[in-house]
Amino acid sequence: MRGGRMSRKQSVFFSTLGAVVASFLVVFLAPVSLAINETMMEGAESARGTDQVADLFGTSGIFSTITNILLFAVGAISVIMIIIGGLRYVTSGGNTANVTAAKNTILYAVVGVVISLFAYAMINFVLTSFAPGIEGSGGTNV
């Protein structure tokens, strides 16, 4: 390390190490999660009030509804930011600072969409893998 910065090799090493550790945790902690899943669902059911919806998971559940609303909001904000970035790019008049700022606006909006889609995919994976009783899920109904 020179001046507190990691070299490219160190960065790749730590990234790979992090991916291996994360994979290890997912593979070996999944059975533990499935073992306590029934208790978690019983606790969630007993904590539910009389006027609350009974379906927390699944396609019509509250978690899926909240996720869909947030994904729609992120998508709408991203489209607006891409339009704003395009307008800034068109009106930059060739000024390099304004062109760079406009390109960064568009880039960050696209990165936000990609991250939100990955988050949506991870939430769907977790809900369908570990929540029992959902059709097509990997959970147990023991």
Could you tell me if 120 and 82 lie in one domain? yes
112-123 per-position pLDDT tens digit:
888 888 888 887
Whether residue 142 is contained in a domain is answered as no
Q: What is the pLDDT of residues 54-95, one digit of tens each?
A: 665 556 667 777 877 888 888 889 889 999 999 999 998 889
In this structure, are residues 130 and 56 in contact, taking their beta carbons and an 8 Å threshold?
A: no
DSSP class of residue 52 equals S
Domain that residue 123 falls in:
53-135
- Regarding whether 119 and 86 lie in a shared domain, the answer is yes
**In-domain check, residue 141:** no
Counted domains in the chain? 2
Burial class of residue 131 (count of CB atoms within 10 Å of its CB; 0-12, 13-18, 19+): buried
Name which of 118, 114, 117, 107 is nearest 82 in CA terms.
Answer: 107
In a domain, 110, yes or no: yes
Residues 97 and 85 in one domain: yes
The answer to whether residue 67 sits within a structural domain is yes
pLDDT tens-digit series, residues 1-47: 455 576 777 777 777 877 777 776 666 665 555 555 566 666 666 76
Quick one: 83 and 32 in the same domain? no
